[in-house]
Amino acid sequence: MPTCRLCFSVYPREQFIHGNGPKAQVCVRCGVEKGMVSEEEVASLYSNSNANARFSALARRWSPLMWLSVLWTAWIVFLNDVEPWSLYTLILLALFSLVVPLYMFFFSSKHMAVMARLTPEYERPPGH
Ligand SMILES: [Zn+2]
């Protein structure tokens, strides 16, 4: 995968603008930011709203794991030696720990569909 010569990021080929001279090896985001191309010209650009939507989809996808680790840490730090709540919360946490991977597995296809919907439609022209 090529590297953008302005921001040094590595992207797939379709994330680069076409052209010679100053437009060579420039990614679509740098091209739009430096005014080399307009936003309408680059179909593969991830707009800000698109990027935000993708980020929140990712956050929704992985937040159960984050909550699980936060709850386990809270249990270890605060509830470890509080009788009888340590046992009850330990059972609840164990149940959550068993259910969360299943939940994530069953919702993975929905997440992939959401990410596919948030991926810009772009067909690489022949010769590029
Ligand atoms: Zn760039």
Distance 20 CA to ligand 1 centre (A): 15
pLDDT of 54-63, one tens digit each?
Answer: 999 999 999 9
Residue extents of the structural domains in the chain: 1-45, 48-117
**27 DSSP β-pair partners:** 16
Let me know if 120 is exposed, middle or buried by CB neighbors in 10 A (0-12, 13-18, 19+).
middle
The amino acid sitting at 1 is M
- Residues, CB-to-ion distance under 5 Å, ligand 1: 4, 6-7, 27, 30
Distance 115 CA to ligand 1 centre (A): 23
Per-residue pLDDT of the chain (128 residues; tens, 9 = 90+): 899 999 999 998 888 998 889 999 999 999 999 999 988 888 888 888 999 999 999 999 999 999 999 999 999 999 888 888 899 999 999 999 999 999 999 999 999 999 999 988 877 667 66
- Report how far Cα 1 is from the mean position of its chain's Cα atoms: 19
Distance 7 CA to ligand 1 centre (A): 4
Distance 53 CA to ligand 1 centre (A): 21
Question: Rounded to whole angstroms, how far apart are CA atoms 66 and 4?
Answer: 33
What predicted TM-score, i.e. pTM, was given to this entire model? 0.71
pLDDT at 42 (0 to 100): 86
